[in-house]
């Protein structure tokens, strides 16, 4: 049977079983067969083949795009003649193919001696921005050889006509509201984790957004208001919390955006999303990628009494009152010039933050990628012509306050700034391009990153990137048919692109399912590094890391750069003494609780950098804090360590990198060896005093300063989804932090220790607790299931070598076996301990889940509705979050422990200890910090 007939069978299956359109074509072999049928004028499949060729072939660097570009060139040259595709139409189709093979064809034609071909080819090239080194080198050589078309192209690029000739955004945009949910909206609502396998199939994945009923309601609004865009709203909450998924915005755009190109299926852009408390920082980045609009509505405000004091309820929370209604079906107008949201002639709220000069450029260009590549292309052309770069784009926003020191994040941005005009240090609010040092791609968004790289015609990793890693942790739990279909292809693509990959496409080294954040934390060997990772928990305890969408990961891999504003910072310090029965996880939870109390319920962390003065806590352990900062709604977090601790953390990272090399994971570019050299260089700088550990200046300016009192933390602290709160907007927020005594006697159905919030010490705590219980009772019995997933294989190996794995194995009823991995997810659990494969496990919710309606106590970060545990008709599932000893003891008891039981259980156990640094973690300001001007 031919590939085409196989494709027809797949089309029929998708249509009948799923109600879907034909899958877009990315295969060269299939498209070659389709082209042969087009050339055969009598072929029975010719008409449909033409439609597939024109409207259903993926652009960029897919193998199909190469075949399509070659055939279009044949048509333009007259070697193939089709009534349906004229040479003029062939040029139009090439203009929608973005880059790679299409640019090669256009350059062939533009640089030819035939003006009938070179002029139209040049006209199309003037609209393109996705040119890479091979393309620009070719153009430069032609220019130097005296080619007039090459000179004309360079002059057009220098003027950035590919941008300036685009239409400006509309001054008035009509929207009709749709309340997608009340309270914070997790991207799980827009792109459920349990549907991760389908993300690369955009139409299929789009079907899982919110609910079928919601999709029908959105379509009904569109039919009723054909001239308005549907604006999805998080009422009394923040839109897009908890994850950086591009698939969430893709789904919103699919239902409420516009088609990017008539010749590329299911790629929609320019959605409008909003929230009472705006859009989460990581989600807003994905909105920018698509040229969309993200509004901070402020439509619910704190109620005040006659004296101007905030009115509070019986729980001490501020009472909110509605400033204006955005009920579903309300027609509003966005005035993009005045930067206001209107209802008729009435101004509802200022929305200036959504229409900065940079964001308006993204909207005009159809997304941030086009602006990033456009700037690079303009810079290249101006340099080639030997002229000053014309001022076309909004200049980088460079803010400098004389006499004001720098925070830690300001120092990192200054150190990595690209193309900075100022000679003065840059402060928060500046908007600049920065070099990205480390990049991470994870396995459930990785297939989308591959698509983005193909779409922007990238074929190899940027040499500016020090190291990049492709994980296998989100699909570690179950090696099912979906994982077997997606993951090998992903690893092969990324390995070829230049990343270190968890799985070896050649099958030589053992597959690693280590949690991506732990690996990125290990391969980050510089506390001044900038890290971009395709997951919201990309929050390293060295350098500053930003959780990003699959597209931003792609652009960082392709260019080694990212553009972003320097965020404001909140300083976190500690006082007092940590009590012996407390774990550092309790300090992390208490930080959020004490912060909210100190600032009257205002989350001062939201959208900002948390600069935590951690002092002597090693990077592995400090990661517990930085990881949780995602749930604090912070943009990122930075750990300030002393010199000795930083050196120890880098030495530990070196040992882990060496293990990766020993296992055979090094690539042809010797990336891992390069990281070892960078680590040695950084250690020497710290030891010599030439460049000590990163610290802020003593007169740096912070948005707020939070002091955490360790003395008052006397009970384990639990983060509670508060599933039965009468106010739906206060459920699943991570803001409800309660002491363990609140839950006295509450039954527990399942416990989970694992994912990125634990380290080797947590595994050792489990072993110590099992020994204690065995000594006290003669044996260990579990009254509720306990799932244990170590974060990395290194930890498992170390536990085996040191003997702790023996006690874990003794009391486990299941131990992972890489030779025979599970091929199906569990639906039921026994009252035993499960020793699972390293990876994300229950935290992801895409493979393993608790039984519906369970009360789960976990060390993970995810308490979102339906993520770890689904609801039943009778009972809402609860994912409460706590420390490792609380989880273990709760499963042994089958309920939450009393504080007395807890204290007795941890006597003599070495919990994760922390003591505030005794010295000031700052540098004396000398006014000489100057940005590095990278090129």
Instruction: Give the mean model confidence (pLDDT) for residues 83-89.
Output: 96
Q: What is the pLDDT of residue 396?
A: 78
Q: What is the pLDDT of residue 196?
A: 82
Q: What is the pLDDT of residue 932?
A: 46
Which has more confidence, 857 or 756?
A: 857
- Given a cut of 90, whether residue 279 has pLDDT beyond it is yes
Instruction: Give the mean model confidence (pLDDT) for residues 452-481.
Output: 92
Q: What is the DSSP letter of 697?
A: B
- Given a cut of 50, whether residue 935 has pLDDT beyond it is no
Q: What is the pLDDT of residue 1?
A: 59
- Given a cut of 70, whether residue 930 has pLDDT beyond it is no
DSSP states of 832-860? SEEEPPSS-GGGT-SS--PPTT-EEEESS
- Residues 621 and 761 sit within 8 Å (Cβ to Cβ): yes
- Given a cut of 90, whether residue 809 has pLDDT beyond it is yes
The C-alpha atoms of residue 255 and residue 271 are separated, in whole angstroms, by: 9
Q: What is the pLDDT of residue 194?
A: 80
- Residues 357 and 351 sit within 8 Å (Cβ to Cβ): no
Q: Across the chain, what does the average pLDDT equal?
A: 93
Q: What is the pLDDT of residue 934?
A: 43
Could you report the per-residue pLDDT of 840-872, keeping only the tens digit for each?
999 888 889 999 999 999 999 888 888 899 999
Residues 6+ apart with CB under 8 A from 448: 199, 200, 246, 247, 250, 550, 551
- Given a cut of 70, whether residue 426 has pLDDT beyond it is yes
Which has more confidence, 688 or 431?
A: 688
Q: What is the pLDDT of residue 173?
A: 98
Give the per-residue SS3 of 490-512: HHHHHHHHCCEECCCCCCCCCCC
Instruction: Give the mean model confidence (pLDDT) for residues 703-729.
Output: 94
- When computed from its CA atoms, the radius of gyration of the chain, rounded to whole angstroms, is 28
Lowest mean pLDDT among 129-143, 233-247, 486-500: 233-247
- Given a cut of 50, whether residue 262 has pLDDT beyond it is yes
Highest mean pLDDT among 237-246, 274-283, 448-457, 684-693: 684-693
Strands annotated E in 791-832: 812-815
Q: What is the pLDDT of residue 933?
A: 46
The C-alpha atoms of residue 912 and residue 396 are separated, in whole angstroms, by: 43
The C-alpha atoms of residue 700 and residue 406 are separated, in whole angstroms, by: 5
- Given a cut of 70, whether residue 672 has pLDDT beyond it is yes
With DSSP H G I counted as helix, E B as strand and the rest as coil, what are the percentages for the chain, rounded to 5?
40, 15, 45
Global pTM value: 0.86
Give the per-residue SS3 of 611-655: EEEEECCCHHHHHHHHHHCCCCCCCEEEEEECHHHHHHHHHHHHH
Instruction: Give the mean model confidence (pLDDT) for residues 297-321.
Output: 86
The C-alpha atoms of residue 134 and residue 119 are separated, in whole angstroms, by: 21
The C-alpha atoms of residue 814 and residue 836 are separated, in whole angstroms, by: 8
Q: What is the pLDDT of residue 751?
A: 98
The C-alpha atoms of residue 549 and residue 441 are separated, in whole angstroms, by: 9
Instruction: Give the mean model confidence (pLDDT) for residues 313-334.
Output: 90
54 class by beta-carbon count within 10 Å (0-12 exposed, 13-18 middle, 19+ buried): middle
Q: How many residues does the chain have?
A: 935
Highest mean pLDDT among 184-188, 443-447, 462-466: 462-466
**Band of the pLDDT at 917, cuts 50, 70, 90?**
confident
- Given a cut of 80, whether residue 421 has pLDDT beyond it is no
**Measured in Å, how far apart are the chain's first and last C-alpha atoms?**
54
Highest mean pLDDT among 334-338, 421-425, 512-516: 334-338
Q: What is the pLDDT of residue 732?
A: 87
Work out the percent of the chain whose per-residue pLDDT is above 90: 78
Q: What is the pLDDT of residue 344?
A: 96
């Amino acid at each position: 049977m031919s590939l085409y007939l196989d494709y027809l069978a797949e089309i029929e299956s998708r249509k009948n079983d799923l109600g879907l359109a034909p899958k877009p074509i990315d295969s060269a072999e299939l498209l070659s067969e389709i082209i042969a049928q087009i050339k055969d004028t009598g072929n029975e499949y010719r008409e449909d083949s033409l439609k597939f060729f024109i409207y259903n072939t993926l652009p960029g660097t897919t193998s199909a795009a190469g075949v399509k570009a070659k055939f279009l060139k044949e048509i333009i040259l007259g070697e193939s003649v089709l009534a349906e595709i004229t040479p003029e139409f062939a040029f139009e189709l090439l203009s929608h193919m973005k880059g790679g093979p299409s640019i090669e064809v256009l350059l062939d034609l533009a640089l030819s001696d035939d003006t009938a071909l070179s002029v139209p080819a040049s006209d199309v090239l003037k609209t393109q921005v996705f040119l890479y080194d091979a393309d620009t080198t070719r153009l430069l050589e032609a220019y130097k050889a005296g080619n007039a078309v090459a000179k004309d192209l360079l002059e057009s690029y220098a003027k950035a006509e590919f941008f300036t000739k685009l239409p400006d955004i509309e001054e008035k945009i009509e929207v009709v509201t749709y309340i997608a949910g009340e309270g914070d909206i997790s991207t799980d609502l827009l792109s459920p984790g349990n549907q991760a396998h389908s993300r690369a199939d955009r139409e299929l994945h789009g079907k899982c957004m919110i609910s079928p009923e919601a999709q029908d309601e959105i379509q009904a609004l569109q039919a009723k208001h054909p001239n308005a865009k549907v604006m999805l709203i998080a009422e009394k909450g923040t839109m897009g919390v908890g994850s950086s998924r591009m698939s969430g915005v893709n789904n919103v755009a699919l239902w409420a955006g516009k088609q990017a190109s008539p010749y590329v299926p299911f790629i929609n852009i320019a959605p409008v999303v909003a929230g009472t408390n705006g859009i989460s920082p990581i989600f807003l980045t994905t909105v920018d990628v698509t040229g969309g609009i993200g509004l901070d509505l402020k439509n619910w405000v704190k109620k005040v009494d006659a004296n101007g004091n905030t009115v509070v309820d019986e729980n001490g929370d501020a009472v909110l009152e509605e400033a204006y209604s955005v009920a579903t079906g309300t027609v509003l107008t966005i005035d993009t010039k005045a930067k206001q949201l209107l209802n008729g002639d009435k101004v509802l709220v200022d929305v200036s933050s959504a229409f900065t000069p940079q964001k308006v450029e993204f909207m005009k260009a159809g997304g941030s990628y086009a602006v990033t590549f456009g700037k690079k292309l303009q810079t290249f052309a101006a340099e080639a012509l030997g002229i000053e770069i014309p001022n076309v784009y909004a200049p980088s926003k460079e803010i400098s306050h004389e006499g004001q020191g720098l925070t830690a994040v300001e120092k990192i941005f200054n150190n990595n700034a690209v193309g900075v005009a100022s000679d003065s240090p840059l402060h928060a609010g500046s908007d600049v391009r920065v070099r990205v040092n480390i990049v991470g791609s994870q396995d459930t968004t990785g297939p989308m990153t591959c698509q983005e790289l193909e779409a922007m015609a990238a074929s190899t990793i940027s040499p500016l990137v020090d190291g990049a890693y492709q994980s296998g942790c989100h699909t570690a739990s179950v090696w099912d048919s979906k994982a077997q279909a997606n993951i090998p292809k992903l690893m092969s693509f990324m390995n070829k692109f230049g990343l270190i990959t968890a799985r070896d496409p050649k099958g030589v080294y053992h597959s690693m399912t280590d949690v991506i954040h732990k690996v990125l934390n290990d391969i980050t060997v510089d506390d001044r590094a900038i890290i971009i990772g395709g997951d919201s928990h990309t929050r390293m305890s060295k350098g500053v890391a930003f959780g990003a969408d699959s597209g931003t990961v792609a652009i960082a891999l392709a260019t080694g750069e990212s553009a972003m504003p320097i965020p404001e910072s909140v300083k976190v310090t500690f006082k007092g003494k940590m009590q012996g029965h407390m774990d550092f996880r309790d300090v992390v939870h208490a930080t959020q609780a004490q912060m909210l109390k100190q600032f009257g319920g205002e989350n001062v962390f939201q959208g900002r950098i948390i600069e935590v003065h951690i002092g002597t806590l090693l990077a592995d352990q400090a990661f517990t804090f930085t990881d949780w900062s995602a749930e604090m709604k912070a943009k990122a977090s930075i750990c300030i360590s002393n010199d000795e601790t930083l050196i120890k953390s880098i030495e530990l990272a070196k040992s882990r990198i060496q293990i990766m090399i020993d296992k055979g994971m090094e690539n042809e570019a010797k990336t891992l060896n390069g990281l070892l050299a960078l680590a040695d260089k950084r250690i020497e700088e710290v030891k010599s005093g030439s460049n000590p550990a990163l610290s802020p200046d003593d007169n740096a300016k912070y948005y707020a300063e939070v002091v955490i009192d360790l003395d008052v933390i006397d009970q384990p602290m639990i983060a509670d989804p508060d599933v039965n709160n009468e106010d739906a907007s206060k459920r699943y927020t991570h803001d409800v932090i309660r002491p363990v005594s609140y839950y006295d006697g509450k039954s527990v159905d399942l416990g989970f220790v694992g994912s990125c919030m634990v380290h080797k010490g947590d595994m050792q705590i489990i072993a110590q607790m099992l020994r204690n219980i065995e000594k006290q009772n003669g044996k260990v019995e579990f009254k509720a299931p306990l799932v244990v997933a170590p974060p990395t294989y290194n930890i498992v190996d170390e536990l085996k070598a040191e003997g702790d794995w023996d006690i874990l194995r003794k009391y486990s009823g299941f131990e992972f076996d890489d030779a025979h991995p599970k091929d199906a997810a569990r639906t039921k659990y026994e009252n035993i301990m499960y020793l699972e494969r390293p990876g994300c496990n229950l935290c992801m919710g895409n493979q393993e889940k608790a039984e519906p309606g369970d009360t789960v106590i976990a060390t993970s970060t995810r308490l979102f509705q339906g993520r770890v545990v689904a609801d039943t008709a009778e009972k809402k599932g609860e994912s409460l979050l706590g420390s490792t000893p609380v989880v273990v003891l709760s499963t042994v008891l089958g309920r939450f422990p009393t504080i007395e039981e807890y204290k007795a259980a941890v006597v003599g156990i070495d919990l994760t200890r922390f003591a505030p640094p005794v010295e000031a973690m700052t540098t004396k300001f000398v006014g000489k910090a100057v940005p590095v001007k990278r090129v």
